[in-house]
Chains A and B, each alone.
Chain A
Amino acid sequence: MRLGACGREKEVAEMLTRGHWPEAASSELRAHVNGCRGCRDLVLVKEAFRAERTAAANAARLEPPGVLWWRAQLRRRNAALARIGKPILGAQILSVAVTLAAAIFYLAWQAKRGYAWPAWLQQFPRALHLEALLPDALTKYPGETWLVFFGLGMLAAMSGVIVYMASEKH
């Protein structure tokens, strides 16, 4: 395949770009184009594409520039907010980690001292007479009563966390 462009292709391309073809072209150049396959292809393709560009540009359905400007500002603002939110999220993760570490440390410390508090905790619902709120079947076993209240407490705490996370996301 011969890739060497015709020496007059540039001249023809320039005339096409300026809209001077074929009116301003010399008869000699027009004769050359008729005889040169490369230049003929160039004229055919360039004229077709430029006509297509004009037709397509007129068919474009565009948003007003003000809408795009506003949306771009909104996007930048959201990106800036996300950048600022990153350290806050880091602080939240850190605080949860510190709380967990403190709880583990406390449990380990209590374990060393012989777990005096589980017995006290088991008696706690009885001290507040909370078993009155439960069905009779459950009140026969004090250990299980404590478990029910622990479960309800966990449920309440988790609900709070879920509501908080959902509102954060929103």
Chain B
Amino acid sequence: MSWESAIPNVLAGETPALASASSDLPGMNSEEFAAFYERSARPLWAYLARVSGDAALADDLVQESFLRFLGADHPNDGEVSARRYLFRIATNLLRDHWRRPRAASIEDIPEEVFQAGDHADACDSRMILGPALRFMRPRDRQLLWLAYAEGYSHREIAGITGLASASIRLLLFRARRKIARLLRENAPDDGRVR
């Protein structure tokens, strides 16, 4: 790109790069995105809220996941793969959140954290799985949710979480056994198969 063509267009806001940025985003137009969002935002929020145990964090991460999804050159081969890609972004964001160093002193913690905690408690009390999920490790919660709530195969879970496909089976087996035991311990006797 030459300076003669770039500089006047920058000032006018019509540089080729900017023009492409203001048109449709890669892979989707606004109507397609709205339809995709309607179908996938709620399951994604449920995944993030239940795995993290924090509804406020889920709100933030859902938005960030969609923003990154729209900004990325994601595989354009159908809604199933787009949704898988979205869950992968969300999983990476969640992992980054857990890896981030915590504040060292109570003065460093913003006030919103305490408000979010109150909300998370209220959210937890409505959960069916809540008490059992709290005893699970975050990775196990992720695997269980992806397998049993979203219905992903071991290979798809490996693609989303970045874990080796071979280890998913063993990890899921252990996690399922543990949460089944916890659910049995906490469940009221309603006559269903336990």
Docked-complex contact A33 and B193, CB < 8 angstroms: yes
Docked-complex contact B67 and A72, CB < 8 angstroms: yes
Choose, from B86-94, B100-108, B145-153, the stretch at the interface.
B145-153
Docked-complex contact A76 and B43, CB < 8 angstroms: no
Contacts of A69 in B (CB 8 A): 25, 30, 33-34, 70
Asked if B189 is an interface residue, CB under 8 A from chain A, the answer is: no
Tell me which of B55, B128, B151 contacts A55 (CB under 8 A).
Answer: B128
Asked if A61 is an interface residue, CB under 8 A from chain B, the answer is: yes
Choose, from B10-18, B74-82, B109-117, the stretch at the interface.
B10-18
Q: Which of A11-25 contact B (CB under 8 A)?
A: 17, 22
Asked if A51 is an interface residue, CB under 8 A from chain B, the answer is: yes
Contact with B along A37-62 (1 / 0, CB 8 A): 00011111111111111011111111
- B: contact size bracket: 35 or more
Interface centre among A17, A45, A81 (most CB of B within 10 A): A45
Tell me which of A48, A57, A59 contacts B43 (CB under 8 A).
Answer: A57
Docked-complex contact A51 and B128, CB < 8 angstroms: yes
Docked-complex contact B25 and A73, CB < 8 angstroms: yes
- A: contact size bracket: 35 or more
Contacts of B30 in A (CB 8 A): 65-66, 69
Docked-complex contact A83 and B17, CB < 8 angstroms: yes
Asked if B38 is an interface residue, CB under 8 A from chain A, the answer is: yes
B33 to chain A, nearest CB (A): 6
Docked-complex contact A44 and B18, CB < 8 angstroms: no
A92–B169 Cα gap in the complex (Å)?
A: 57
Contacts of B22 in A (CB 8 A): 73, 76-77
Docked-complex contact B169 and A3, CB < 8 angstroms: yes
Contacts of B169 in A (CB 8 A): 3
Known: A41-B177, A68-B67, A69-B70. A49 touches B194 (CB 8 A): no
Docked-complex contact B126 and A55, CB < 8 angstroms: yes
Contacts of A77 in B (CB 8 A): 18, 21-22
A33–B193 Cα gap in the complex (Å)?
A: 8
Known: A68-B70, A73-B22. A43 touches B128 (CB 8 A): no
Asked if B162 is an interface residue, CB under 8 A from chain A, the answer is: no
Tell me which of B15, B34, B144, B194 contacts A66 (CB under 8 A).
Answer: B34
Q: CB within 8 Å of A: which residues of B?
A: 6, 10, 15, 17-18, 20-22, 25, 30, 33-34, 37-38, 41-43, 45-46, 49-50, 55, 58-59, 62-63, 66-67, 70-71, 123, 126-129, 132, 144-145, 148-151, 169-170, 173-174, 176-177, 179-180, 183-184, 192-194
Give 30 CB contacts A-B under 8 Å.
Answer: A34-B193, A40-B180, A44-B183, A44-B193, A45-B176, A45-B183, A48-B132, A48-B148, A49-B144, A50-B149, A52-B149, A53-B149, A55-B128, A56-B45, A57-B45, A60-B41, A61-B55, A66-B30, A66-B34, A68-B63, A68-B70, A69-B30, A69-B34, A72-B25, A76-B21, A76-B25, A76-B70, A76-B71, A84-B15, A84-B17
Q: CB within 8 Å of B: which residues of A?
A: 1, 3, 17, 22, 30, 33-34, 40-53, 55-63, 65-66, 68-69, 71-73, 75-77, 79-81, 83-84
A-B pairs with the 9 shortest C-beta distances?
A56-B46, A72-B70, A60-B45, A49-B148, A57-B42, A41-B180, A65-B37, A76-B21, A80-B17
